Structure 1
Amino acid sequence: MDWDKLRIFHAVADAGSLTHAGDTLHLSQSAVSRQIRALEEALGTTLFHRHARGLILTEQGELLFDATSSMARKLDSASARMRDSAEHVLGELKVTTTVGFGTLWLAPRLVKLYDKFPDLKIDLMLEERVLDLPMREADVAIRMKEPSQSDLIRRRLLNIRMRLYATQTYLDHAGIPESMADLTKHRLICQKIDQPQVAAGARLIQDIMAQEITSTLTVNNYFGVLQGVLANVGIGVLPDYLTADHPELVRVLPDIDSAEVPVFLAYPEELRQTRRVAAFRDFVLEEIQAYRRMQSEGATR
């Protein structure tokens, strides 16, 4: 089977258009069309249904696209390994994590990784949707639950809890609540229960809202909740990992918190030997150890 024709077929199937595939491959539409027809003739089957709005894969086309997609992933992995060397880490690394953890914990620490590996290119994708690592939507993920795919290397980093925090300035002005019922006298800053977030956090918010809180500020991510708390707007529901970087936060109602939320780092088995992935993994583990030391020192004071 002609590898060049397979490459062109993969580009067309991925784009769903001869024109768009031609732009990607720097070929004319007619040249791409000829290669697809030649491949179909060689295989004795039709690979695309053609209509005015574009191309749709036939059943046989889907089978071939699955095969070329697997080949493309393996070639990308091999290329990454060849670019990496024992002395030098470079190239793009696609990292995905939640908006909260990515903006509040990970991004502020990345300067240390860049100091060590200045040629690294990190594509940080912050979203609550879980990206498919085996399909290479991302190279590495940090998630608030254990990944379900079996062909991933995973490592539990830490456990976090959602807790109530405010600033001392706010508490001096509004008073310190002594019980859950006292929260009715305060403004609560949190995410809405039906917004994407860790389930343990949503349950804690639901319990607090049952107290018939009259004044609230809801934000669709923890970064916004934190900004509201730091601006003395009210008492916020926030992950406890924030206290490492924001010692000005005062914990409110220390007996109240969420269930534990596990934080996992995961990446595909095929990227185990990739230097960029190893460098990022080691960096995160070092930062987690430093975070734990800071927590321990704070607990003994």
Structure 2
Amino acid sequence: MTMDWDKLRIFHAVAEAGSFTHAGDVLSLSQSAVSRQISALEEALAVPLFHRHARGLILTEQGEAMNRTVREVFAKLALTEALLTESKERPAGKLKITTTTEFGNAWLMPRLSRFLATYPDVSVTLLLEDGDLDLGMREADVAIRMHAPRQPDLVQRHLLDIHLPVCASEAYLAARGTPVSPDDLDGHALISFGNYRPPVPQINWLAQLGRGNGPARPALIEVNSLVAMRDAVEAGLGIASLPHYLVADRPGIKRILTNVESPKIEAYFVYPEELRTSKRVAVFRDFLLAELQADRTEG
């Protein structure tokens, strides 16, 4: 037989309510109309679904089996309806994003136009701060951080590994020569990050390379900006270790000491647990992953 969904809906309401009258109240039907629909279903199935008695209705064994199946079906239908309804809704509203100054300026900012064009109902606030804003206190909605989150109540997604290659300009190498081992760095000018709060861990590792526990090499120049370090390298002032995304499109900057393993920084997309179901957060996360995949494909 072909199942009548309307009769199944009425059967489920009766099974849950325990009486024709209560089910009728839920369905806005009369008690007699509900009773007729159940009798018609029992006749079509050729099995009794309820024991009828003065105090109400009790499911028969066949009725219990039917109700278990119907309950699962209607639950799945309700979930599917919710998901379909949600998928029709365009992400909208404000999204407050925080990340480090250089990553925000050099990598994220040039790509934001594509995100905003795809999701015009989302407005972005970008907070560039080398320290960690408190997501739990809603100083920002989401963060791109250069370390795993330290707060246990934050959702995290690994985004990428940032490498710190050793770099110098062609002009500098032509004038000073190309170091081929860590010991060769002793005769070269180093450019270091000079702030007490560096934007990425181990940014000044080059000063200690090959020195063991000995004193670090002095820097020719210290600046408190990774972009300024990159510009100093490009101007031929010296050698520096820089995040790979800062030098990817700079043909005048050459990577040297490629046989030396540089530190790796793990970047994470982080947001509070209560935003797990936010469509704005989800589409921005997916956008970041797609952009990073495109970078790897082009690279």
Separation (CA, whole Å) in 1 of partners of 2:143 and 2:221: 30
Aligned to 1:263: 267
Q: RMSD between aligned alpha carbons?
A: 2.5
- Write out per-residue CA displacement over residues 129-152 of structure 1, whole angstroms, 9 at most, x where no aligned residue: 111112211101111111122222
Q: In 2, distance between residues paired with 1:229 and 1:236? A: 7
In the alignment, which of 175, 178, 190 is matched to residue 176 of structure 1?
A: 178
8 Å Cα contact 2:153/2:272 also seen in 1 = yes
Unpaired stretches in structure 1, ≥5 consecutive residues: 1-83, 296-301
- 1:145–1:264 CA contact under 8 A, matched in 2: yes
Corresponding residue SS for 1:166: strand
Matched residue, 1:201? 203
**2:293 pairs with 1:289:** yes
**Contact persistence 2:154–2:272 (CA under 8 A):** yes
Q: Is residue 109 of structure 2 the alignment partner of residue 102 of structure 1?
A: no
* Structure with larger Rg: 2
User: Residue 193 of structure 1 contacts residue 206 of structure 1 at CA under 8 Å; is this kept in 2?
Assistant: no
- Looking at structure 1, the residues matched to 131 and 228 of structure 2 have their Cα atoms a distance apart, in angstroms, of 19
Residue deviations 1:15-57, cap 9 Å, x none? xxxxxxxxxxxxxxxxxxxxxxxxxxxxxxxxxxxxxxxxxxx
TM-score, L = length of structure 2: 0.63
Q: How big is the shift at 1:212?
A: 6.5
Structure 2's unaligned 5+ residue stretches are: 1-85
Q: Offset of 1:193 from its aligned partner?
A: 7.2
Write the letter of the residue equivalent to 1:144: M
Partner letter of residue 138 of structure 1?
A
- 1:53-89 CA-partner distances (Å, limit 9, x unpaired): xxxxxxxxxxxxxxxxxxxxxxxxxxxxxxx984533
What is the aligned partner in structure 2 of residue 37 from structure 1?
none
The AA in structure 1 aligned to 2:220 is: T
Equivalent residue for 2:6? none
Contact preservation (8 Å) 2:195, 2:223 = no
Shift of 1:240: 2.0
Contact 2:227–2:246, Cα closer than 8 Å, also in 1: no
Q: Percent identity?
A: 42
Structure 1 residue 120 corresponds to structure 2 residue 119: no
Go from structure 1 to structure 2 and tell me whether the alpha carbon gap of 1:194 and 1:216 turns closer, same or farther (over 3 Å shift). Answer: same
The 5 Å alignment of 1:153-172 reads 153-172=155-174
Code of the residue aligned with 1:289 in structure 2: it is Q
Do the aligned partners of residues 215 and 158 (structure 1) sit closer, same or farther apart at CA in structure 2, a change above 3 Å counting? closer
- Aligned residue pairs total 212
Distance 1:203 1:213, change over 3 A: closer
